[in-house]
Structure 1
Amino acid sequence: MSADLKSYLTQRVAFVDAALDRFVPAAETRPVTIHKAMRHSLFAGGKRLRPILCLAAAEACGGSLENALYAACAVECLHTYSLIHDDLPCMDDDDMRRGVPTCHKVYGEAMALLAGDALQALSFELVAQTPVTHRHSPAAMVLELARTAGSLHLVGGQVADLEGEGRKLPLEDLRYIHESKTAALLASSVKLGGMSADAQLDQVQALHDFGMATGLAFQIIDDILDVTQTTEKLGKSAGKDLASEKSTYPALMGLDASRDEAHRLTEKARQALEVFGPNGYWLHQMADYLLKRDY
């Protein structure tokens, strides 16, 4: 990672974390247990990739970080909710996330379920507060996030993921799962950033294309890391996909072909950014970083 990208990420993580700390009720707020549980997962050391991409998209469209901040925090809350629920025993049954015990291991299943529910509700509360622009109202941004969160994308992808366990899926079905879960939320993150900056319609479409390609590449790299890295490095259970007999890109294509596919998708994502010219610099940098990450 270059020094300028490392500095950029450090600054953006601090910016997002400070905002989340303001937006999420304090741990001492009644009822204390739910707010402690929400904060446990939200501040467990996530890399804040989705909110950073949201902010970078706003910059690419000539917007301000302040106007994009509500959307950036909204997508992080929605993402964290999905992780809490995915980790539950009735779902993927994971004990570690972001290097710490999962929410249900600390607070119990019922409280983890409610913490996820509360974070999901908070995500819509936050995005609805985005300042109005000429082309995109807060209602339009809420609609974008709601569609991403529902049965046609995030929830639907999780359903297909659960139903696919223990079976060798066709590559098309695996792609559907990854596009519905990882790619859809990443695409929504950058689109919301652009919308907060009054992006033109062709810019929103470009951000969608960038997000879908980058999101799928991101998940392929995740699949690769699951079989090539340790639990300590990843901050979550390594080898989980193999143990649960999940179909993954490496299992279906092999490691080398999976890496080639991730490179192809990243190049596709970069091409989508041509409309932004030099303003898309940080989105370009982020796409390369996500491709080359090792945890």
Structure 2
Amino acid sequence: MVTSLSALKKQIDDYLAQTLAMDVDQPILYNSMQYSLMAGGKRLRPALTLATVEMLDGKINDDVLRAATSLELLHTYSLIHDDLPAMDNDDLRRGKPTNHCKFGAGMATLAGDGLLTLAFQWLTDNHLPATVKSKLVLALSKAAGPAGMVAGQARDIEGEHQHLDLKQLRYLHRQKTGALLKYAVLAGGIITNQPDEICQHLASFGANFGLAFQIYDDLMDVLSTTEKMGKKVHKDAGEQKNTYPGLLGIEGAKKQLQCAVDTAIKDQQQLEQATGKSFAGYNQFLAYFK
């Protein structure tokens, strides 16, 4: 039986709240890092890692929790930097003023830097086997770096004054959002020492889940409200961002979302066939898109 998403979120929140202060040696910097880290995120990324570990018969202990939550540190850094005046210049995140609005752009930048580097500290400062830690560091570096999330952000900036086609837009999203979600699932396989075939299936599920997540986010920017999203909506069109609704319209974007979800479900089924285990625990994540 896989732990519920709400219970996983509580474990993650508790660990982050109890542990962050141990590794930060400057009060204002800590306040800035803690402000964004504990602002109420969904914790989908570390929860995906922990759920995957459980479905592969692994146990969640302090070492696994530390490695999994390192991804939330890195994800939070990316949000702080994405909100900065030099990037998207947002003033609202998760229903609260963005980090630079509260602490200034300089301290917000340092808070992001601190979370990024601390993520790799947590990924290695635990008692997991050295080979596991090495594989996790390599996979996360690729997912977050200049061939992954950072490249996706760069494509997003470059594309503001270009009209991307569907293939280009999908590639941008696979890097910008999908890379970390792909890693989140893959990390569960690395932690439990799965063979390459299983890791490939896990990575595919994560990539398709990540693509669905970004399409859904694009749709919510058009269809939802600031109150529900906790950030300003209707910004993408005004900033000439390349989005699925902008390229395909609302109904076309919804079809692409369903296609990504259906492909993720096929990956889920292939995992069950390859391992003989149930991966029904992913259903609670896929329910996010309903």
The reply to whether TM is greater than 0.5 is yes
Would the aligned equivalents of 2:156 and 2:172 in 1 still touch at CA under 8 Å?
yes
What is the aligned partner in structure 2 of residue 112 from structure 1?
Answer: 108
| Residue 169 (structure 1) aligns with | 164
Gaps of 5+ in 1: none
**Matched position secondary structure for 2:278:** helix
Q: CA RMSD in A?
A: 1.9
Gaps (5+ residues) in structure 2?
none
Q: 1:291 aligned to 2:286?
A: no
Distance of aligned partners of 1:278 and 1:263 in 2 relative to their CA distance in 1, 3 Å threshold: farther
Secondary structure at the aligned position of 1:24 is classed as: helix
Q: Check if 1:53 corresponds to 2:48.
A: yes
AA aligned to 1:160 is R
CA distance, structure 2, for counterparts of residue 64 and residue 199 of structure 1 = 14
Give the 5 Å matches for 1:96-107: 96-107=92-103
The residue type equivalent to 1:207 in the other structure is L
Matches within 5 A, 1:124-203: 124-133=120-129, 136-203=131-198
Q: Does 1:222 align with 2:217?
A: yes
Deviation by residue 1:53-112 (Cα, 9 ceiling, x = unmatched):
111111121111224312221111110000000000100110011111110000000000
* 1:246 alignment partner AA: K
Post-superposition offset of 1:133:
4.8
| 1:241-261: CA deviation from partner (whole Å, max 9, x where unpaired) | 111111100010111121111
Q: Is the 8 A contact 2:32 2:99 kept in 1?
A: yes
Distance 2:283 2:265 in 1: 6
CA distance in 1, matches of 2:48, 2:250: 27
Partner letter of residue 107 of structure 2?
Answer: M
Counterpart of 1:209 in structure 2 is 204
Q: TM-score, normalised by structure 2?
A: 0.93
Which residue of 1 is the match for residue 117 of structure 2?
121
4+ runs deviating over 6 angstroms: none
Give the paired residue count.
285
Q: Which residue among 64, 79, 83 is the counterpart of 1:68?
A: 64
Sequence identity (%): 40
Distance 2:266 2:82 in 1: 33
**Offset at residue 11 of structure 1 (A):** 1.0
Letter matched to residue 92 of structure 1 = D
